Amino acid sequence: MTIQERTTAADGTAPCDGTGTGHRAVGAAQAPGANGPWPVDIGEDAPAARGGHVLAEAEGGAPDVVLVATGADVHIALAARDILQREGTATRVVSMPCAEKFQAQSEEYRDAVLPPGVRARISVEAGVELGWYAMLGGAGQSVGLAQFGVRAPYRELHQQSGLTAERVAAAARTRLHRAT
């Protein structure tokens, strides 16, 4: 399976381990990567079972920016986080394999993952951007692919359409500036 052939469970869950996409299996997933597949726990007690969780915490205190991504797009968010952290912007990455499951969690849990005080939120999604806006709030932005039907290797598609860590970092800088 290639990374652009993302499969999801019937409930829409697209698990990841920060390196790629998951193959659905009973209680686990296989995430392909440069050194082969790694098992990814998607059982009842796994963080992914709650629909969304903090994958990489902001260094240096509370986050200034939250990047939210799913499945195969998490690596872009993690790379953007690296850029922003080097610039001194405390950046959290949230893995959101299933927004519906996340919305079903307690308000306390949702606020712990997506702090209400952090208005600079960016979603990273190779699919449809529309569903993200409710979670991003008024100062948020969705960075994604705005076209469908184009065929090319995923890296080439991402570069051509601007779904890159650099674009995500630029969107985060802009939104952080507007939110303050």
Q: Is 176 helix (H, G, I), strand (E, B) or coil?
A: helix
* Domains defined along the chain, listed by start: 50-179 (3.40.50.920)
Phi first, then psi, for residue 28 (nearest 5°) are -155, 170
Q: Does residue 75 register a pLDDT over 60?
A: yes
Q: Is 28 helix (H, G, I), strand (E, B) or coil?
A: strand
Structure tokens at 168: 């995500």
pLDDT of residue 3: 34
Say how far apart CA 66 and CA 176 lie, in whole Å. 10
Task: List the one residue out of 94, 73, 89 whose CA is nearest residue 175.
Answer: 89
Mean pLDDT of 72-84: 93
pLDDT of residue 152: 57
Residue written as tokens 């969705």? Answer: 142
Model pLDDT for residues 29-54, shown as the tens digit of each residue: 434 443 333 344 455 667 788 999 99
Mean pLDDT of 48-76: 91
- In order of 14, 124, 131, the CA distances from 29 in angstroms are 10, 21, 25
How does strand 120-125 pair with strand 65-69?
A: parallel
pLDDT of residue 63: 97
Where is mean pLDDT largest: 15-24, 58-67, 124-133? 58-67
Q: Which residue has the higher pLDDT, 50 or 159?
A: 50
Q: How many residues does the chain have?
A: 180
Task: List the one residue out of 78, 70, 76, 80 whose CA is nearest residue 174.
Answer: 80
Structure tokens at 40: 């990814």
Say how far apart CA 51 and CA 128 lie, in whole Å. 18
Q: State pTM to two decimals.
A: 0.74
